[in-house]
Amino acid sequence: MSAHADTHAHDDHGHHHKETFVTKYIFSQDHKMIAKQYLVTGTIMGVIGVIMSLLFRMQIAWPEQPNVIFEALLGKWAPEGVMDADIYLALVTIHGTIMVFFVLTAGLSGTFSNLLIPLQIGARDMASGFLNMVSYWLFFLSSVVMVISLFVSAGPAAAGWTIYPPLSALPMAQGGSGTGMTLWLVSMAIFIASSLLGSLNYIVTVLNLRTKGMSMTRLPLTIWAFFITAVIGVISFPVLLSAALLLIMDRSFGTSFFLSDIFIQGEVLHYQGGSPVLFEHLFWFLGHPEVYIVILPAMGLVSEIMATNSRKPIFGYRAMIASILAIAFLSTIVWGHHMFVSGMNPFLGSVFTFTTLLIAIPSAVKAFNWITTIWKGNLQMNPAMLFSIGFVSTFITGGLTGIILGDSALDINVHDTYFVVAHFHLVMGISALYGMFAGIYHWYPRMYGRMLNKNLGYIHFWVTAVCAYGVFFPMHFIGMAGLPRRYYTNSNFPLFDDVSNVNVIITIFALIGGAVQIVYLYNFFVSIYYGKKTVQNPWRSTTLEWTAPIKHIHGNWEGEIPHVYRWSYDYSKPGHDEDFVPQNVPLKEGEEELQH
Amino acid sequence: MTALLTIIVLVFILIAIWQMVKIFDLAQAKSGGDEIPGVATDKDNSLNGYLMMGFLAFIYVITIVSCVKWGDLPLLSNSASEHGPTIDNLMIISLVIIFFVQTVTQFLLHYFAFKYKGEKGKQALFFADNNKLEAIWTIIPVIVLAGLIIYGLNTWINIMGVDESDDPIVIELYAQQFNWKARYAGADNTLGKANVRLIDIDRANILGLDEADPNAQDDIITTELHLPKGRPVLFKMRSQDVLHSAYMPHFRAQMNCVPGMITQFGFTPTKTTAEMRATQQMKDKVANINEIRVENSKELIAKGEEALERYEFDYVLICNKICGKSHYNMQMKIVVEEEEEFNAWLKEQKEFKNSLIN
């Protein structure tokens, strides 16, 4: 296989000089360029998503108060500077959609799967460069459609990111369920096509294009994570596509898949025999695996970065792979825990409680393995390492409350309250974002040939870390006090007045945390041109991507692809002069490869 | 104008960051050394190691402050339904486990990050695997979770299983954008057939009852939910337009209302509204809320608006599934009273057959 890859790559290399601006920077088929395209698009979407969250946080803290920022950004949706209730729901909806799909799925997985799979397994490029390019451009198109939907006259989709029908199906139920929702669905359909093309490419590449000596048990954990993520994506995204298509049918062609017996605005609609609960099943059959699609790549990146910066092998390599597999398997049979009070049979609720709580076991194994990895290490506190430690911290804090939400009996009273918001933001929002930041700080030199400024990185991390806890920790308590999420204002419920001051504190932390991202954006964009030049292997890492030339070339390596002789975690191995032994260094005479 | 100001502020921020970077660079150039630019030095390792301990302290402080300020569990006041205490117990057990694990693991993580901060020439331990350790942290969670699963499922089954032999009073909760109605089954304790297709606004048949169904004749439709204390209630939920969720937090009860199907949830109220108001915990809570409201009213009065009303505790039914523009104000008052009071109240309400307009 690798011989074939070699000849293929030499062909590529021959064409290298014929590249034009368009084939190099726009319609590029090079995985490294596509990775950067994903990252920059994801970053832009991320900025939009975060600004939206700050807007609705301000509304929650200071309800119905005029604000010049609202007036400037929301236009007709903020008459006299007071945010409208419809646009509040739209902001919540689009914030969720953008962050989950466009930033933490495409931005995270798209960037790092593309960058690292070929470089770390020793391949010239993805199995299909063309499909890879199509995948990115479909993602770009879906981003454009989603952004356009913000400017529709009746407002963007506003039924929550879960778009449960009938609310999302009936334009008379809500302004945003007209053209805004149509565009949302079209955008998601394109997004899913993009995601599937990407995932298939990742799977095929990992299975077929590994260099000589790179057995599956020598793969870095990043690759294992990307690989399994792609498998989950291929299994679950088509189900969301079917849900979206059926919803489009109900909305535009008069079918009744999800709708039945509806009387709204003085008239009975013709729908009969459908069930919104069916939509919930289809949605969460993707929706729950989706959180693992988001978190697994982050886990992979963090495992790799922690080992490198601890100068120690990752602890429990086999257990780490086993837990990824266990999580992937369980992730497809737990979706019903989002539906304990949906009206489905309570017996099903029991089954889903059981499977859901089981997921805590592989998650605990991973957390303890990370902690043991840094034990007795020689920790290099690079910004990437700080974000990785931060990841483990928020993953534990957020993950633990999962044993409350996964327990159907307890879910009755905290379902859809701020407790849920706190839980998932910590465990998959903030954690995945930390994983992404860690990856960016770590592989930035590999992407741009320059280093990010580490001091700005430290400021970025510490302020973000404090604010993340400041925002989401107190939120658990408002949730336990019974406050429902997605409320435009709580002023109609004096019952919750005693927690209203908490909302002000949360918003202040959110504003500071949002503002400090400017430091990161500055660092990112300015360093592309003015950052300090990198050395070949700045983090003294063992994996193959650091053996490729700093300047990007088509085909990744001049000459032959390096062969692999050992696993990727030979840090501080006794009997070597350096505290790391790259994977392409043959075993010394008499040296044994670790039995793993 | 605002746009211009925003741009100016942004430019200033960027310049400030740029200057900050220059200062960092100068300071580091002075300390010299052969380090690679952008890679942590021993000094960075040490500083960030200490910050890790500081951060651990921050996590503990925010936990303690949150618990002291807002952690008077159960936050909603003691439950007012028969099954409520079992949920509250399970919740408190889970919280204690979480609190313990959180405290220990966060300590290990941050303390190790501090203790093993890197130094040049230090050797890390080559420690790649240990089956015994892996077994320990697989088996311990298995045991703890097994306990939680068994307790949890037991509780869940008890709550969700409706025992018809208890002779529950049957009440329909009817949801629509953006209000609630309750329908009592009347003397026959059987709800009349209904479908939204039968709604006839002109005849005031607002819930779509089957006018020909004998069971429907004595049904009673109200806009306030009254419940007798100590009697099992079986709620049948319906929605006429979109998904809603009937959330009654004080009774630890919630179920979605789904158009096209009937969902159900049952519980037995154990405290009347008056009894709940008289508990010390609720008195404190209400006093606290009223203090806040007086404080907020001062601001409102200064702006020339009306002051907020004094708060008195009432049970509420809240919509807890996003349902459109006024989702945030979809509620119904719940009154729990002694059975005689309840019966007296019910007698005053109009039966369906008498409420129709011909």
* Residue B220: predicted pLDDT: 95
CB contact A322 to B (< 8 Å) = no
pLDDT digits (tens, 9 = 90+) for A125-151: 999 999 999 999 999 999 999 999 999
Chain A nearest-CA residue for B158: A409
A247 half-sphere exposure, CB direction, 13 A CA radius:
33
Q: What's the gap in Å between the CA of B27 and the closest CA on chain A?
A: 11
B26 is a domain residue? no
**Closest to B36 (Cβ–Cβ): which among A89, A354, A535?**
A535
Mean pLDDT score, B290-296: 92
Residue in A160, A149, A46 with CA at minimum distance from that of residue A92: A160
User: Which DSSP category does A21 fall into?
Assistant: H
- Report yes or no: A365 at the B interface, CB cutoff 8 Å: yes
A182 touches chain B (CB under 8 A): no
Burial grade of B32 (CB within 10 A; 0-12, 13-18, 19 or more): exposed
Asked if A284 has any chain B CB less than 8 Å from its own CB, the reply is: no
Query: What is the pLDDT, as a whole number, of residue A7?
Result: 43
- In whole numbers, what is the pLDDT of chain A averaged over residues? 92
Count of beta carbons in the 10 Å neighbourhood of residue B120: 9
Preferred mutation among A358, A498, A532, A539 to probe B, highest tally of B CBs within 10 A: A498
* pLDDT value of position A394: 97
- Spatial distance between the Cα atoms of B129 and B326, rounded to a whole number of angstroms: 56
Is B70's pLDDT higher than 70?
yes
Local confidence band at B76 (pLDDT 50, 70, 90 cut-offs): low
Q: What is the DSSP letter of B249?
A: G
Amino acid present at A122? G
Domain containing residue B265: CATH number:
2.60.40.420
Q: Which residue among B145, B256, B293 sits closest to A342, beta carbon to beta carbon?
A: B256
Contacts of A499 in chain B (CB under 8 A): 70
ipTM above 0.85, yes or no: yes
**Which 114-153 residues of chain A touch chain B by CB within 8 A?**
none
A62 CB near a chain B CB, below 8 Å?
no
Q: What are the chain A neighbours of B297 within 8 Å (beta carbons)?
A: none
Burial A188-223 (b: 16+ CB within 10 A, else e): bbbbbbbbbbbbbbbbebbeebbbebbeeebbbbbb
**Closest B-chain CA to A308:** B124
pLDDT of residue B208: 93
Note whether residue B21 is domain-resident.
no
For A155, the token pair is: 């407002």
Mean pLDDT of residues grouped by 10 in chain A (596 residues)?
Answer: 43 55 84 95 97 95 90 89 94 96 95 96 94 96 96 94 94 92 96 96 96 94 97 95 95 94 93 95 94 96 96 94 96 94 92 94 96 95 97 96 94 95 95 97 96 94 96 93 93 89 94 95 94 92 94 90 93 90 90 72
Last residue of a domain, one of B118, B153, B179: B118
Which one has a higher pLDDT value, B3 or A10? B3
Residues β-bridged to residue B279: none
Decide: residue A22, CB within 10 A, 0-12 exposed, 13-18 middle, 19+ buried: exposed
Phi, psi (5° rounding) for residue A267?
-140, 155
In this structure, the answer to whether residues B94 and B186 fall within a common structural domain is no
Q: Provide the chain A residues 147-166 that lie in CB contact (below 8 A) with chain B.
A: 159-160, 164-166
Establish if B190 belongs to a structural domain.
yes
Residue B38: per-residue pLDDT:
86
Does residue A21 have a cis peptide bond before it, meaning omega lies within 30 degrees of 0? no
Number of domains in chain B: 2
User: According to DSSP H, which parts of chain B are helical?
Assistant: 2-31, 42-70, 84-115, 131-160, 214-217, 273-278, 280-302, 339-348, 352-355
Report yes or no: A109 and A546 within 8 Å, Cβ to Cβ.
Answer: no
List, for residues A481-499, the tens digit of each pLDDT value. 999 999 999 999 999 998 8
Let me know whether B333 and B203 are in one domain.
yes
Instruction: Tell me how far apart the 2 most distant CA atoms of chain B are, in Å.
Output: 95
Pair (B108, B223) in one structural domain: no
pLDDT tens per residue, range B167-178: 899 999 999 999
The closest CB to that of B127, out of A315, A350, A453, belongs to: A315
Q: Is A393 on the interface with B (CB under 8 A)?
A: yes
Domain residue limits at B196: 164-275+310-355
Would B232 be classed as within a structural domain?
A: yes
pLDDT at B197: 93
How much is the pLDDT for A245?
95
Q: What residues contact B65, with CB distance under 8 A and at least 6 apart?
A: none
Partner B, chain A 394-423, Cβ-Cβ below 8 Å? 396-397, 400-401, 403-404, 407-410, 412-413, 415-417
> How are beta strands B233-239 and B169-176 bridged, if at all?
parallel
Q: Is the peptide bond before B168 cis (omega within 30 degrees of 0)?
A: no
**Residues B65, B213 share a domain:** no
Mean pLDDT of B14-28: 80
Look up residue B116 and give its two tokens: 């093993």
Sign, CA dihedral B273-B275-B278-B282, equals negative
| A357 with B90: Cβ contact below 8 A | no
Contact B221, B181 (CB under 8 A): yes
- Across the interface, whether the CB atoms of B21 and A455 are under 8 A apart is answered yes
The pLDDT score that the predictor gives to residue A15 is 45
Q: State mean pLDDT over B194-200.
A: 93
Choose, out of B19, B99, B137, B315, the residue to mutate when testing the contact with A (most A CBs < 10 Å): B137
pLDDT score for B32: 53
Q: How many CA atoms lie within 13 A of B285 on its CB side?
A: 25
Q: Report if residue B61 sits inside a domain.
A: yes
> Among candidates B164, B230, B238, B159, which has minimal Cα distance to B197?
B238
First-to-last C-alpha distance (Å) of chain B: 62
Considering only CB atoms, A413 lies closest to which of B52, B134, B254, namely B254
Alpha carbon distance A15, A23 (integer Å): 11
Pick the last residue of a domain from B81, B100, B118.
Answer: B118
d(CA A299, CA B198): 55
Euclidean distance between the first and the last CA atom of chain A, given in angstroms as a whole number: 25
Task: Please report the pLDDT score of residue A157 as a whole number.
Answer: 95
CB A221 within 8 A of CB A321: yes
d(CA A41, CA B124): 39
- What is the Cα–Cα distance from B188 to B169, expressed in whole angstroms? 10
Taking phi over 0 as left and psi of -120 to 50 as alpha, with beta for the rest, A481 belongs to: alpha
For each of the domains in chain A, give its residue range(s) and CATH number, in order of start. Answer: 2-13+22-260+267-373+380-547 (1.20.210.10)
CB A455 to CB B108 under 8 A? no
Q: What is the pLDDT of residue B34?
A: 56
Nearest-by-CA chain A residue for B131: A316
pLDDT band at B74 (very low <50, low <70, confident <90, very high): low
Q: Which of B254, B294, B322 to mutate to test the interface with A (most CBs of A within 10 A)?
A: B322
Residues B190 and B269 in one domain: yes
- In the DSSP assignment, the letter for residue A334 is -
Cα(B198)–Cα(B250) distance, integer angstroms: 34
Closest by CA position to A92, among listed A154, A169, A152, A155? A155
The structure tokens 């009254």 sit at: B226
Q: In the structure, what pLDDT confidence band is assigned to residue B33 with cuts at 50, 70 and 90?
A: low
Range 455-494 of A in CB contact (< 8 A) with B: 455-456, 458, 462, 465-466, 469-470, 473-474, 476-478, 480-482, 484, 486-490, 492-494
The phi and psi torsions of A255 (rounded to 5 degrees) equal -75, 170
Give the pLDDT mean for B217-223: 94
Nearest to A486 among B243, B293, B327 (CB): B327
Say if B148 falls within a structural domain. Answer: no
Same domain assignment for residues B171 and B253: yes
Judged by CB atoms closer than 8 Å, whether chains meet at B325 and A85 is answered as yes
In chain A, residues 6-45 whose CB comes closer than 8 Å to chain B? none
Contact between A498 and B45 using a beta-carbon 8 Å cutoff: no
Same domain, B203 and B59: no
Please check whether residues B171 and B86 belong to one and the same domain.
Answer: no
Residues of A with Cβ-Cβ distance to B106 under 8 angstroms: 393, 396-397
Assigned token pair, A170? 């009936």
CA distance B66 to B78: 20
Q: How far is CA A2 from CA A123, A131, A527, A560, B246, in A?
A: 8, 21, 36, 10, 61
Q: What is the Cα Rg of chain A in Å? A: 24
Reported as half-sphere exposure (CB side, CA atoms, 13 A), residue A76 has a value of: 6
Contact A88, A96 (CB under 8 A): no
Residue A470: list chain B partners with CB under 8 A. Answer: 62
Q: Average pLDDT over chain B, rounded to whole? A: 90
* Within-domain flag for B87: yes
Contact criterion met (CB below 8 Å) for B194 and B216 = yes
- Evaluate if residue B35 carries a pLDDT over 80: no
Tokens of A10: 């030499």
Q: Looking at CA atoms only, how far is residue B219 from chain A in angstroms?
A: 21
Query: How many Cβ contacts (< 8 angstroms) between chains A and B?
Result: 411
Same domain, B237 and B110: no
B101 & B205 share domain: no
Hunting for tokens 């086993």 — which residue is that?
Answer: A322
To probe the interface with A, which of B242, B248, B264, B305 has the most A CB atoms within 10 Å?
B242
Interface contact flag, B102 A413, Cβ < 8 Å: no
How much is the pLDDT for A3?
42
- Mark which of B88, B118, B148 sits at the end of a domain: B118
User: Would an 8 Å CB–CB cutoff place A195 in contact with chain B?
Assistant: no
Say yes or no: B78 and B169 in one domain: no
Q: Which residues of B131-166 are buried (b: 16+ CB within 10 A; e: fewer)?
A: eebbeebbeebeebbeebbebbbebbeebbebeeee
Nearest CA in chain B to A458: B48
Q: What percent of chain B has pLDDT over 90?
A: 71
Closest residue on chain A to B6 (Cα): A69
Q: Contact, A236 vs A285, CB < 8 A?
A: yes
* pLDDT on residue B69: 82
Task: Collect all residues of chain B within an 8 Å Cβ-Cβ radius of residue A453.
Answer: 21, 24, 38
B32 lies in some domain: no
Tally of CA atoms within 13 A in the half-sphere of B220 that contains its CB: 21
From chain A, the residues in CB contact with B245 under 8 A are 341, 415-416
The single residue listed with the structure tokens 């975060």 is A50
Give the nearest chain B residue to A256 (CA atoms): B260
CB neighbourhood size of B283 (10 A): 12
**What pLDDT sits at residue A596?**
53
How many angstroms away from the CA of A211 is the closest CA of chain B? Answer: 24
